[in-house]
Amino acid sequence: MRGVVEMIRDVAARQPGRAAGATLADVLEVVRGRDAESGLGKIALLVWAEALRSPAIATRFKAMLTQMRAGFAEVVGEGRGNVPADAMAAALASVVPGFILQLALLGPEAVDGVPEAVRSLWPS
């Protein structure tokens, strides 16, 4: 997941103004690729469950989520209308765990087309 966070920050730095949907779609494609390589989805579910019992794991996981949200906040910039960037970043970051859950429990075919759907939901 650190690689995903780094990718979000890299996009924000190198491609300012890029559509949030395009960035999120790229994140989902990276997650899907890493799941195919190493079973990331199932490992993530185990880590999330263990974070409920282990303060040390919970602390690391919270830090990773905070960094992910900060990266998405950089991508969205100042937000849209009366919606602040932090709230938009939280919404974008919420998509990633749902994608991972479906990937782990239902398999890769269950998330076919999701990156494209995200691109069209948040085109600019």
CATH of the domain at 54: 1.10.357.10
Share of the chain above pLDDT 90, in %: 43
Q: What is the mean pLDDT of the chain?
A: 87
Parent domain of 81: 2-121
DSSP result, the chain? -HHHHHHHHHHHHHSTT--HHHHHHHHHHHHHHHHHHH-HHHHHHHHHHHHTT-HHHHHHHHHHHHHHHHHHHHHHTT-BTTB-HHHHHHHHHHHHHHHHHHHHHH-GGGGTTHHHHHHHHS--
Tell me the pLDDT tens digit for each residue of 30-86.
Answer: 889 989 999 989 998 998 899 999 999 999 989 988 988 888 888 888 767 788 989
**pLDDT for residue 1:** 67
Q: Indicate the pTM of the whole model.
A: 0.84
What domain count does the chain have?
1
